[in-house]
Amino acid sequence: MNMDSITVVLSFLVLLTCAPWCIYSEDRRLVNMTLVRNASSLGAYCLDGSLPAYHLDRGFGAGARNWLLQFEGGGWCNDIKSCLDRAQTRRGSTRYMSKVEVFSGILSNNASLNPDFYNWNRVKLRYCDGASFAGDAKFDNGTSLLYFRGQRIWQAILLDLLPKGLGQAKKALLSGCSAGGLATFLHCDNFTSYLPKNASVKCLSDAGFFLDERDIGLNHTMRYFYKDLVSLQGVEQNLNKNCTSSNLYPTQCFFPQYALPYIRTPFFILNSAYDVYQFHHALVPPAADPHGHWYHCKLNPAVCNAVQIYTLQGFRKYMLQTLRFFLISSRRGGMFINSCFAHCQSELQDTWFAPDSPRVNNKTIAQAVGDWYFGRNISKEIDCAYPCDNTCHNLIG
């Protein structure tokens, strides 16, 4: 047998041992960008004035009338300088965005990699406003011009998709990651209002449960950050009216923990109890650790000292406390709170659905979300505390 023949045989044996996973390891679903040409009629612009956009991968077969919309994430800007800087990047302008996106994880069109949603119409909404698709204002000092039009971008994309089949949806799921995950809390019920009354509509937030928690310096870093953001971008008018009318500080309704009790649509919360973004920017922001005592702990939780671990366990405890009412009282809700150091787990194939994906009670994230959406099983999974979970993909950074 020559070397070429040996190579073919070995390759075939490898495929047999790991199919179907490795067969598709290089199967990258590339989806082109669609600019929302009519957005200007609604005044819906990215920060720099460019048109908003999305990527649509059409459903097929039994999923042809089902829709999954995924908000892209990417942080926020809460002052003029940071928004001007952002406007010159892909986070504030479609001019700088990749025109083709890879669809993986919950966006995959492969039944072996995304068994419940692979044949749905899957849409990625590009993020270019800096306020979780919720602002409605404009800054113009004669020299600089910024459009804070996230709410109008959201509406413009919906209006573009409705005649393309979204308006006849039988099933729909609004999801998002990070700042996009927060956007699902802000827009969930509004999404439902656009769809047929008999449609099954639900919402999923991945790594979007940002907490109103003090940092290690006992400062409300995230609270003040969001307060400035809401004020600058004109967000308050678009927050849940029942929440703002019931809250002494209406701007706090930007936080999911305050908005969640007022959401009527079935909701699923996917989050790490040690969310890396919140760990690095909310719990231990650079300003609260000027001497870098947390530097090594941030890079590798295995080297955190006893005090640091205690602080991290306190963060987890507070997250579970804020979710306790939802856990007990929400009959139609679901959750998957694992103990991995990660941020956004639904769009990565390795964490969404793969042989070594993170598990809680032996369920992958994809299985938990599918069980919840389709009502196959009660799906409220809460992991034990770090470091007990050996299925984690600790995505530090």
Exposed e or buried b per residue across 203-230, where buried means at least 16 C-beta atoms within 10 angstroms of its C-beta: bbbbbbbbbbbbbbeeeebbbebbbbbb
Any catalytic annotation for residue 275?
yes
Rounded CA Rg of the chain: 21
Q: Which of 93, 104, 108, 178 is catalytic?
A: 178
Q: Hey, what are 93's tokens?
A: 């302008």
Can you give the chain as a three-state secondary structure string? CCHHHHHHHHHHHHHHHHCCCHHHCCCCEEEEEEECHHHHHHCCCCCCCCCCEEEEECCCHHHCCEEEEEECCCCCCCCHHHHHHHCCCCCCCHHHCCCEEEECHHHCCCCCCCCCCCCCEEEEECCCCCCCCCCCEEEECCCCEEEECHHHHHHHHHHHHHHHCHHHCCEEEEEEECHHHHHHHHHHHHHHHHCCCCCEEEEEEECCCCCCCCCCCCCCHHHHHHHHHHHHHCCHHHCCHHHHHHCCCHHHHHCHHHHHHHCCCCEEEEEECCCHHHHHHHHCCHHHCCCCCCHHHHHCHHHCCHHHHHHHHHHHHHHHHHHHHHHHHCCCCEEEEECCCCCCCCCCHHHHCCCCCCEECCEEHHHHHHHHHCCCCCCEEECCCCCCCCCCCCCCC
Type of residue at 64: A
Q: Which of 57, 206, 275, 289 is catalytic?
A: 275
Listed in sequence order, the DSSP H helices in 337-385 are 349-352, 365-373
Any catalytic annotation for residue 280?
no
Type of residue at 385: A
Q: Which of 343, 357, 379, 383 is catalytic?
A: 343
Supply the residues annotated as catalytic.
178, 275, 343
